[in-house]
Amino acid sequence: GQQLNQSPQSMFIQEGEDVSMNCTSSSIFNTWLWYKQDPGEGPVLLIALYKAGELTSNGRLTAQFGITRKDSFLNISASIPSDVGIYFCAGQLIQGAQKLVFGQGTRLTINP
Amino acid sequence: NAGVTQTPKFRILKIGQSMTLQCTQDMNHNYMYWYRQDPGMGLKLIYYSVGAGITDKGEVPNGYNVSRSTTEDFPLRLELAAPSQTSVYFCASSLSSIHEQFFGPGTRLTVL
């Protein structure tokens, strides 16, 4: 099946640092999504990208849809303790139902 | 609105036992999904439904069954539990194929 390669797998940073993570795929997707998962919770959508080349921000978060449609990145600026969690990318092919393919996740740990 | 609710939160099964994971949403969403999340991995789609009476297989459907008799409920059935089904199960719903998926809090299942 389709796979997304997400990196890095984990990050240990100091509070206030910027964070960058990315996803690549051998397949083309029509939509890229970034989710955050807190411990014991389900994923929550952070940013959705619908067009190749699109750059979208949501507060301190910025994400881009690669022009080849095979990759995406997420940046978090000036990290704060509540940014701790696991971040997932997901790609969607539009085939009638919203079937998402998820990356393996990036676990973010912040030292105060 | 409660959103997407799942029961139980935790369950331990013996090999060969059966159980039903419950999922209910009160947002009048047409689309519902079941995912499993193995340790250190992203979510994988088990089954999905685009409306009452309509279900279809996802990426990893073997060993599971679903039904969708109402818009609100989308139960996931395990008939003969196996250790390979030890995982965290997430239910999600969306208004349509282009709208955001909302996730429940998950059910942690252990098969011994």
Please give the pLDDT value at position A99.
80
- State the average pLDDT over residues A49-76: 95
Average pLDDT for chain B: 94
> Which tokens belong to B42?
């992203």
Q: Does the CB of B88 have a partner CB in chain A at under 8 Å? A: no
* B81 confidence band (pLDDT: 50, 70, 90): very high
Residue A18: closest CA among A77, A81, A60: A77
* Shortest CA gap B64–chain A (Å): 18
Chain B partners within 8 Å of A44 (Cβ): 103
* Shortest CA gap B58–chain A (Å): 8
* B10 confidence band (pLDDT: 50, 70, 90): very high
* A95 confidence band (pLDDT: 50, 70, 90): low
* A94 confidence band (pLDDT: 50, 70, 90): low
Of the listed ranges A92-106, B25-39, B63-77, B80-94, the least confidently predicted one is A92-106
Residue A59 backbone dihedrals phi, psi, to 5 degrees: 65, -120
Burial class (CB in 10 A: 0-12, 13-18, 19+), A24: middle
Q: Does the CB of A100 have a partner CB in chain B at under 8 Å? A: yes
How do strand A31-37 and strand A85-95 relate by DSSP bridges? antiparallel
> Residues with Cβ < 8 Å from B69, sequence gap 6 or more?
B52, B53
Answer whether residue B40 shows pLDDT above 90.
Answer: no
Q: Please answer yes or no on whether B40 and A105 come within 8 Å at the CB atom.
A: yes
Let me know: does A24 contact A82? Beta carbons within 8 Å. no
* A1 confidence band (pLDDT: 50, 70, 90): low
Please give the pLDDT value at position A37.
94
Report the C-alpha gap between B95 and B27 in whole angstroms: 8
* B100 confidence band (pLDDT: 50, 70, 90): confident
Report the C-alpha gap between B104 and B106 in whole angstroms: 6
* B96 confidence band (pLDDT: 50, 70, 90): confident
* B42 confidence band (pLDDT: 50, 70, 90): confident
Distance (Å) of CA B77 to CA A16, A62, B24: 45, 39, 14
Report the C-alpha gap between A92 and A98 in whole angstroms: 7
β-pair partners for B80? none
